[in-house]
Structure 1
Amino acid sequence: MAGERVSLDDALSNVDVLDDLPLSDQQPMVEAQSCSVVYTANFDTNFEDRNAYVTGIAKYMEEAATHAELNKLLEEGEQHAVMLYTWRCCSRAIPQPKSNEQPNRVEIYEKTVKVLSEEVKKLTKFMKFQHKAIEVFCNQVKRLCHQEKRKDFVSEAYLLTLGKFINMFAVLDELKNMKSSVKNDYSTYRRAAQFLKVLSDTQSLQESQNLSMFLATQNKVRDSLKEKLQTIGAHEELLCEVVNISVHMFENKMYLTPKEKQMLVKVMGFGLFLIDSDGCNINKLDQKKKIRIDKIDKIFKNLEVVPLFGDMQIAPFNYIKRSKNFDAKLWPLCSASTISPQASLMCHLPRIREEHIKYISDLARYSNEVITTYKETARTDAENRDISDLAQRGLMLLSDWTSVVTEVYSWKLLHPTDHHANKTCPIDAEEYERATRYNYSPDEKFGLIEVIAMIKGLQVLMARMEIVFLDSIRKNIYQELQDFVQLTLRDPLRKAVKNKKELLRSILVSVRETSADWIKGYEPSEDPALKGKKDPDQGGFEIKVRRRNVGSEELELSLYVPPGPSSTQLYMVRTMLESLISDKSGGKKTLRKEMDGQHLVLIDEFHKTSFIWSYLLNFSGRHAPCPCNFPNWHGHVRRTTCLYPNRHGHVRRTTCDVPRACTLTGTGMCDVPRTCTLTGTGMCDVPRTCTLTGMGTCDVPRTCTLTGTGMCDVPVPVP
């Protein structure tokens, strides 16, 4: 049979027969969007263009400058979190001197210092960063809590940024607590450095001592932050506002990604912990209606466990239980022994199926129209609005479904099953197996794959419509913004001028000048509203709002797709409008009392609608990440980034998707340190000898020892 020849026609016919093979019904197709080399435009300028909007209110321009600095600190904090999360123990792979008389003892210590010195520098930077971040955060709190500033308006965006700082401190503190390998590596380095007398000067010794105490002390970041806040008067009032805005945004679903949703929950828990102290009892704050414990209790019960960072989890209610004035009676839902709704995927599955079918049908209708229909005229405002709403629905569905998946597996990981709860679970099963392999019923396993397939499939379909979505999103946002600032704000501006409300008038004028795109390039000076007068009885006063896609007479403009407002422009407009409808204004009388109720409703509606615009304008970067938020144990495939020096002294990044068997259990995915193929102990981070050249570090793709194909990250024996 080995020598039998098969003609090309026979071979092709055999391949065609594969189409007729029967496949099992209801098998989900789990295939995500293919990743190609593309570029996307990022419209988030981090307020670098703030000086361009000189017509804006100076106070909010200053706030934008502060925002920019705070965002840079948040990015730096994210880098330190990644550093801690990806830290793997190096000291276990480093040989230790067995006696004081060992001949190469000095050489071993010198190599140890050389290898670990760069890693220790990262830890020193982390320690200095948390000092700096706490100082900056507390300075902002102190500024806002000043006696003259307490009644001033603080924007929703600014409170949310303070909430992001609270979340960052919680994440960094928990990661530092969990990573014992960091302490072990630094102890190894310090022992070697002291032997070689590297830390000889006073400054180095003091810095080493500070770093050692910082790493060894549990909850150091948390306690330092709380201690610093206790010195600031009325800080609890501002933190209550941060907690309340988190509750408000969570209840009204004012978020998009699962990460943002889970961040709000962590801010509630850690924020209340920071507030509660000897001088401030959160139970009394609840009685004074400063916070709503009943609402937070319900949220914590529905979301008992949230991802901390990566595949690490945390229970936000634990912060409340550690607080000084914890009273279980005020937290009846969280204190009850009933299982959280978060634990069950099956209760969400019927709803997800129905939403998927309905949305896919709507998406298919628009997709068919785009593919099969050619229109000589541009889309109308109503059509652009419908397509933009469709894109928004799709993003929110992707977010909601992904949240369900991440929340279910997060709960399962912190609540492993046992032999009594699941008879198929062996008594001697590993804890990781009890949390994953035996912690799901057959229906849950099938449902999990089904939901993941829906998410990935919807992502692919939305990616095909990306050009259409982006075009309609930008045109719709442009149209809604221009209609609002040029038409809707005319009447409030007229009344502000007529009644001589100068502050109100200046804010409304600033909003228009910041964002209006007048058809003649400038605001019509003959507009009666600017003088506080009514429109003429005969004919009125018509304002033509520019439409970039209105018809053949403006063909050159119809080809232009407006990019929508920049991130800074949108921030300025929303913040100035928010100051009009806020209950706090810094004066004896709030601005909202100077406006008619109908105008407040219109401004409030626009403010709520425009919240999602920043996400829609970044549509390309929003619909892609959601399906990537799945557990790295799914399918027993682990994606890891390998960092090792090559023979040119650079660092090479490779990604291995090849399943590896655990060296202890023989199954699943191994997170257990592997034995070093050079030293025979610990986990190997040592460069391996090239199997082709016999020298240096091998950059040649190696054959996987498990599958026989591809490039494997599994250690290979050194020849």
Structure 2
Amino acid sequence: MHFNLISRLYLQIFLSTRWAILLNLHAEMFRTNTVEDILQVLIVFCVESLELDFALLFPERHTLLRVLPVLVVLATSSEKESESLYKRVKINRLLNVFKNDPVIPAFPDLHLSPAAILKELSSYFQNFSSQTRLLALQAPHEIQGRELQEYPRHYLILNHMGTIRADHDDFSIRFASAMDQMIRLKSSDGVYNDWSRDIKGNMYDIVVEGFQLLSRWTGRIWEQCAWKFSRPISDSQQNSMTCFDYEKVVRYNYTAEERRALLELIGYIKSIGLMMQHCDTLVSEALWETIHMEVQDFVQDKLDTMLRTTFRKKKDLSRILSDMRTLSADWMASTSKADPEQHSLHQETEEMRQNTFYPRPVAPTAAQIHCLQFLICELVSGGNLRKVGGLFGNSGSGIPVEDLKQLETFFYKLSFFLHILDYTATIGTLTDLGFLWFREFYLESSRVIQFPIECSLPWMLVGHVIESEDAGLLESILIPFDLYNDSAQHALTSLKQRFLYDEIEAELSC
């Protein structure tokens, strides 16, 4: 009891000091030199990652969208800093990012709005109140006219089902074909040649594409839910006199066609995820070998060429390249086993430099991948955080465009490697749809212990299948029960709340 009182006291203090953490951070961080440059680098990274769709998993994209408005407020706390920021990132680019995603999923039953964040923070950061173009952005409930017709076309899954079906069928066929080739390779004599390398490389590409599909589809469900939560039905649309707020955003906010589309997409996500999960042991070695080959090709061949050409007379930068090779080069897998620094100093012909890599299912560790990313950032920035043009911009770096492109490509590949190496966990993240059940915020705001089972979105999908006269939906009747499994797993493992698990179990037992 004493512990609960203390926890409640801390919660009251936290809620009564809104944005206090951010205000304290702002006061402390600007005591550090070059903090403005660091903020600008982070903003450039967020904008470029969102514009070029570099995030492999949807939670990464949503995180970038959530953090960007706060970074912009911190980076424009004075007129001088605003001018400096807009020299590196045009304000129109920021406006486009915020307009493209006016609603951001935050928690299962809560959403955020960049426009609302910016407007609320303007009262705490007085200098930001002069950013009229950013503050003119519309929150979801303020959107009217033509834009109100455009956004549902983007957010509602129903409008994308044609493309989703085609992508599902095409991927299923190509994944099955790639798996057949892997089985044939396993049954062969195991000789490593161009044929086996191509098969494993193709399997790697298919896995990446599968992750991207699952991420895009699950992200669409998150974003559709966030849009529905931000646009509840009006009282005039609901004839019932007694209607919970949760019913306005869920029960009465989905048409029959939208429920069918959601049910179909859930089935696609679960089937693709299960198909990829079943072959994890078969593809793991191929993935490790392909990643090993990618890393070794870059650090042993491409960096070697850069050391002898671009960075030959740049000792500070060449030292970074040598550190990258020392950190991650696997000389045991190469015909050349010379010391990496000595290896880079000798002037030999390109034919003499050509290395042959032997297959080794030895993937880099997470620490090696993070260190390589850090060293690439250090290399392209040259210690100058004020460089215009983004992290991999050519202005003032002294690095040829071709070399910058290779560094940029490898930098973003490294981010993919982390998720591919954690194969099972990544599939679990991308196929977890348990958030569709949670509604704790609305329970608190409605001051009720629990909503009727008819309000539960998973149960609504079950009811839709039963009530529908479409025989094609009958095979999907068990799919919503996967949502209960996901939500129960999330309640126990992530939230560590047994009472939520009990509520899910009770609803499923009705």
- Tell whether the structures are fold-level matches, with TM greater than 0.5: yes
Distance 1:496 1:668, change over 3 A: closer
Q: Which residue of 1 aligns with 2:92?
A: 294
SS in 2 for 1:514: helix
Please say if 1:601 is aligned against 2:401.
Answer: no
Take 2:452 and 2:386, find their aligned partners in 1: how far apart are those partners?
Answer: 68
* 1:501-551 CA-partner distances (Å, limit 9, x unpaired): 322332222221211111488832699963342329xxx425443313xxx
* Aligned residue type for 1:293: I
The structural deviation recorded for 1:402 is 0.4
Report 1:148-167 matches (<5 A): none
CA contact (8 A) 1:276 1:325 kept: no
Please say if 1:573 is aligned against 2:372.
Answer: yes
* Aligned residue type for 1:545: T
CA contact (8 A) 2:203 2:283 kept: yes
* 1:220-242 CA-partner distances (Å, limit 9, x unpaired): 33333334446556644432322
Q: Which residue of 2 aligns with 1:503?
A: 316
The structural deviation recorded for 1:304 is 1.9
Q: Which residue of 2 aligns with 1:119?
A: 4
Please say if 1:257 is aligned against 2:76.
Answer: no
Paired residue for 2:23, among 206, 217, 223?
223
* Aligned residue type for 1:381: R
Paired residue for 1:350, among 154, 162, 172?
162
Report 1:58-207 matches (<5 A): 115=1, 117-122=2-7, 182-183=11-12
Distance 1:235 1:461, change over 3 A: same
Take 2:340 and 2:324, find their aligned partners in 1: how far apart are those partners?
Answer: 19
The structural deviation recorded for 1:627 is 1.9
Please say if 1:618 is aligned against 2:417.
Answer: no
The structural deviation recorded for 1:388 is 0.5
Q: Which residue of 1 aligns with 2:258?
A: 444
Take 1:255 and 1:240, find their aligned partners in 2: how far apart are those partners?
Answer: 19
The structural deviation recorded for 1:453 is 0.9
Report 1:249-648 matches (<5 A): 249-277=49-77, 279-280=78-79, 284=83, 288-322=86-120, 323=122, 324-325=128-129, 327-329=131-133, 334=138, 337=144, 338-339=147-148, 340-341=151-152, 342-371=154-183, 374-378=187-191, 380-420=196-236, 422=237, 426-495=240-309, 499-519=312-332, 523-524=337-338, 530-535=344-349, 540-541=351-352, 543-548=354-359, 562-582=361-381, 584-585=383-384, 593-633=397-437
* 1:248-296 CA-partner distances (Å, limit 9, x unpaired): 111222223322111111111122233344x34776456x424333222
* Aligned residue type for 1:547: Y
Gaps of at least 5 residues in structure 1 are 1-114, 128-181, 184-212, 549-560, 639-660, 671-704, 715-719
* Aligned residue type for 1:305: V
Take 1:397 and 1:580, find their aligned partners in 2: how far apart are those partners?
Answer: 33
Take 1:239 and 1:225, find their aligned partners in 2: how far apart are those partners?
Answer: 13
Distance 1:353 1:283, change over 3 A: farther
Take 1:527 and 1:600, find their aligned partners in 2: how far apart are those partners?
Answer: 22
Take 2:220 and 2:58, find their aligned partners in 1: how far apart are those partners?
Answer: 9
SS in 1 for 2:68: helix
* 1:328-352 CA-partner distances (Å, limit 9, x unpaired): 5456664752223454222222222
Which moves more between the two structures, 330-339 or 504-513?
A: 330-339
Q: Which residue of 2 aligns with 1:242?
A: 42
CA contact (8 A) 1:515 1:565 kept: yes
* Aligned residue type for 1:354: A
Take 2:20 and 2:341, find their aligned partners in 1: how far apart are those partners?
Answer: 61
* Aligned residue type for 2:72: L
Tell me the TM-score normalised to structure 2 length: 0.74
* 1:279-336 CA-partner distances (Å, limit 9, x unpaired): 34776456x4243332222222232222323432222221212214255545666475
Distance 1:595 1:329, change over 3 A: closer
* Aligned residue type for 2:275: L
* Aligned residue type for 1:350: G
Take 2:314 and 2:81, find their aligned partners in 1: how far apart are those partners?
Answer: 40
SS in 2 for 1:348: helix
SS in 2 for 1:307: strand
Take 1:527 and 1:229, find their aligned partners in 2: how far apart are those partners?
Answer: 39
The structural deviation recorded for 1:409 is 0.7
Take 1:517 and 1:631, find their aligned partners in 2: how far apart are those partners?
Answer: 43
SS in 2 for 1:308: strand
Q: Root-mean-square deviation (CA), in Å?
A: 3.8
Take 1:330 and 1:228, find their aligned partners in 2: how far apart are those partners?
Answer: 25
CA contact (8 A) 1:306 1:315 kept: yes
Take 2:333 and 2:430, find their aligned partners in 1: how far apart are those partners?
Answer: 42
* Aligned residue type for 2:268: M
Kindly, what percent of the aligned residue pairs are identical?
Answer: 21
* Aligned residue type for 1:413: F
Take 2:180 and 2:72, find their aligned partners in 1: how far apart are those partners?
Answer: 51
Take 1:480 and 1:612, find their aligned partners in 2: how far apart are those partners?
Answer: 12
Take 2:425 and 2:180, find their aligned partners in 1: how far apart are those partners?
Answer: 24
Take 1:470 and 1:617, find their aligned partners in 2: how far apart are those partners?
Answer: 8
The structural deviation recorded for 1:414 is 2.4
* 1:648-696 CA-partner distances (Å, limit 9, x unpaired): xxxxxxxxxxxxx9767574359xxxxxxxxxxxxxxxxxxxxxxxxxx
SS in 2 for 1:541: helix
Take 2:453 and 2:361, find their aligned partners in 1: how far apart are those partners?
Answer: 57
CA contact (8 A) 2:301 2:355 kept: no
* 1:74-122 CA-partner distances (Å, limit 9, x unpaired): xxxxxxxxxxxxxxxxxxxxxxxxxxxxxxxxxxxxxxxxx1x223455
Take 1:327 and 1:500, find their aligned partners in 2: how far apart are those partners?
Answer: 45
CA contact (8 A) 1:519 1:544 kept: no
Q: Which residue of 1 aligns with 2:478?
A: none
Tell me the TM-score normalised to structure 1 length: 0.54
